[in-house]
Structures are given as C-alpha cells and as structure tokens.
Amino acid sequence: MHDFQTKYSLTNHGSPTARAFNTGLDFAGPFDFKSSPLRKSPLLKGYVCVFICFSTKAIHLEPCSELSTKAFQATFSRFVGRRGLPQRVFSDNGKNFVGASGAYRQDFKRFLKESSDDIRSQYSIHGFEWQFLPPNAPHMGGLWEAAVKSFKLHFKRIVGSNSFTFEELATLLARIEGMLNSRPLSPMSDNPQELLALTPGHFLRGAPLIAAPEPQIDNLSLQNRWEKLKLLHQQFSQRWKDEYLKELHQRYKWKISHHNLSVGDFVVIKNELLPPNEWRLGRVEKVYHGSDNKVRVADIRTQHGTLTRPIVKLCPLPSQTDLSHPLP
C-alpha cells in the first residue's frame, strides 16, 4: 500500500521551479480505434493520457494503446522526449503508474552504478520524484481530474460513433492540444496599450501557438478522412472554447454583487467564427451603464479597431497576480 506522498528522488534537487512540466497525469477513455485503415478492420480499445502542468496550466495529450505498465512507459517516454523530464509527477495508485515508477527507480540505480563520476555529476542538477495520492482519493487530484473530465466529455460528444486509426487519433489529439495551449491565461502586462495575452504556449515555445489557416468545414458526411479530422477538431474547439469562456464569465445574476467592468480591463470577446487557435482580445475603452448603474455595454479596443459589445459577450481575464483559476 502506498502512503500519501510516497516518492523517490533520483537526485538531490533544490526548490521547485516554474518550468513546464511539473505534472499531474491520468487516463481518459476508453475510445475505439481501428487496427488498420480498411473499412471492416477490427476495433480496439485505446486511451488518452492527459498531462497537465501545475506551473503553467499547459496540457499534453498522448495516445496509449492499453493500460499496461509497458504501454504507459512508452507513453511517458514520448512525453519526456518532447517536453523534457518533469521535476515532479503526481498520479493516483494505478498499477501502471506504480509499475512505471518502480521501473524508473531501478533504471536510475543501475545508471548510477554503471556510470563514471563525471557522467553522474552531469545529472546531479536534475530532480525527478513521483508522488502518489492516497488510495481512493481521486478528489485530491482535482486539477488534472478536471482536465480529464472536460476533455473526455467533449471528445466523446464530437467523436460519437467515429473510429480512428492510431495515427489519426494521435493527429487529432495533437491538434486539440495546440488549441488548449493557445487559450489566454492573463494579460501579458499591465500596460493599457498592450493587447497580448499570456498563454501556455509561451511557456512551451516562447510564443503563441499558431495553427495553419483552414476554411470552416460544415459537411459532416465527408469521405475524406483527413477532412473529417479537421471537422472534428473544429467542433471540439467550439465546444471547449464555449465552456472555457463560461468559466471565465461566471454570472450570479442578482444573488451576489460582483465587480463591474471598468476602463482598462483586459477581456476575451466571444466569437464562434474564429479558427480553433485564435482568440479575440481587447481592452475596455468606455463603458455604458444601465438604469441600475451596472455596466451593460462596453467599447473594446482590439488590434482591428474598436468594437461595441454587451457584457454577456465579454469575458474578463484574471490579472497577472491571479493565474490560479482552474481549467474547466
């Protein structure tokens, strides 16, 4: 039985850093995928491993063919190869997670035993520990559990009875991941003239994640499988964006008094016609009050001019001092 914060340290390491990823992870699924592109190929069960960074709220989605320890080790290796070795990993007590943790511990012990002093010293700056939640306490992993629930809910709704090859599933997940990591977290600065938002993509590559431009696809009965993947990606993006903006724009009607929009606030403007990785951002330039002295309409300065929108179409972003609002 694993106690809370059962862990192993591969090396001595200092205080936590803000790099991506210090991660929590869990599986979503199962989902059906095809063993080959043939029309009547047998269906297999597949899963999606969801990694979420505690420091930056960045998300990584990795397909996995099964829940065995070996399959998870391959999934985790792909993650590390692209995102780097995390300083800390948090998970529940799934057998595949416990098995992988033990395997990495044994590998590292053998590495230290067989390596020379100069090689070992190069790895002394790296820290890696695996921490397990208490048994039967999934609520303690609320950050990644919420990400898994949100992804799984929308993914199952848009996929429906469609099935994919493993390559198609990996492609769709990568496109969805790019959209998730393009979401605005907070204003880039407090400068009222600044119209850029900080996104998880800035922590991953130092700049926003921009996708190749694509036209909107409306035809659901497409025979071209690549076109169908693009359609499903667009549908997922519309659903997830709508939920994310609703979380930003929580309205309590008359029950609780909350802060009015004010000049200089940084907002996301709701627009269902934007591409998946695009968000319309702006600063409030002027507000219009109703008869109850509450702001009902605002003029928003964007990169393409000034727009007038009702407050129901405006979602204020948290300031840089508050980047801890949860994922929907």
Per-residue pLDDT reduced to its tens digit, 38-58: 777 888 888 999 998 888 888
Task: Round to whole Å and give the CA distance between 144 and 260.
Answer: 31
Q: Looking at this protein, which amino acid is placed at residue 178? A: G
Predicted confidence (pLDDT) at residue 323 exceeds the cutoff of 70: no
Q: Which residue has the higher pLDDT, 223 or 207?
A: 207
Task: Round to whole Å and give the CA distance between 216 and 234.
Answer: 8
Give the CA dihedral 310, 315, 318, 324, nearest 10 degrees.
150
Buried b (16+ CB within 10 A) or exposed e, 113-143: eeeeeeeeeeeeeebbbbbbbeeeeeeebeb
Angle at 121 between CA 120 and CA 126, to 5 degrees: 90
Say which range, 21-25, 119-123, 240-244, has the weakest mean pLDDT: 119-123
pLDDT tens sequence across 203-220:
888 888 887 777 777 665
Task: Round to whole Å and give the CA distance between 99 and 69.
Answer: 6
pTM: 0.77
What is the average per-residue pLDDT within 303-318? Answer: 87
What does the pLDDT read at residue 327? Answer: 45
Structure tokens belonging to residue 202: 């800035």
| Banded pLDDT at 62 (limits 50, 70, 90) | very high
- Residue 273 is given by DSSP the state T
DSSP per-residue letters across 25-48 = EEEEEEEEEESSSSTTPPEEEEEE
- Give the Å distances, CA to CA, from 141 to 24, 176, 315: 8, 22, 27
H or E element in which residue 288 lies = strand 280-289
Structure tokens belonging to residue 211: 């996708």
> How many Cβ atoms from other residues are within 10 Å of residue 39's Cβ?
6
Predicted confidence (pLDDT) at residue 271 exceeds the cutoff of 60: yes
Task: Round to whole Å and give the CA distance between 63 and 23.
Answer: 17
Q: Which of 228, 186, 220 is nearest to 203 (CA)?
A: 186
H or E element in which residue 189 lies = none
Contact 172, 229 (CB under 8 A): yes
Task: Round to whole Å and give the CA distance between 233 and 192.
Answer: 34
Rg of the chain over Cα atoms, rounded to whole angstroms, equals 22
| Banded pLDDT at 246 (limits 50, 70, 90) | confident
Contact 157, 277 (CB under 8 A): no
Predicted confidence (pLDDT) at residue 6 exceeds the cutoff of 80: no
